[in-house]
């Protein structure tokens, strides 16, 4: 029974690793010259796109 439990835990760990996708968010650069709201909106859009590329849906995606 203990051997089966160990095997099941190994399989669960392997499957969890396969399901997890790394999300690499874009680097941000803060510039005092840029308009704050426009820079924030662009950063949010870039991050949303990185999340989508990793295979995760964003609220509002169809």
pLDDT digits (tens, 9 = 90+) for 2-59: 999 999 999 999 888 777 767 777 666 555 555 677 777 788 888 888 888 888 888 8
Residue-level pLDDT at 43: 81
Residue-level pLDDT at 59: 81
d(CA 6, CA 20): 21
**Residue 15, by phi and psi: left (phi above 0), alpha (psi -120 to 50) or beta?**
alpha
d(CA 11, CA 26): 33
Instruction: Check: pTM over 0.85? Answer yes or no.
Output: no
Residue-level pLDDT at 6: 93
Residue-level pLDDT at 7: 95
d(CA 25, CA 35): 21
């Amino acid at each position: 029974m203990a051997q089966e439990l160990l095997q099941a835990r190994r399989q669960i760990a392997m499957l969890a690793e396969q399901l997890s996708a790394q999300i690499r968010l874009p680097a941000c650069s803060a510039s005092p010259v840029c308009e704050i709201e426009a820079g924030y909106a662009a950063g949010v859009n870039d991050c949303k796109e990185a999340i989508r590329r990793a295979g995760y849906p964003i609220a509002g995606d169809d």
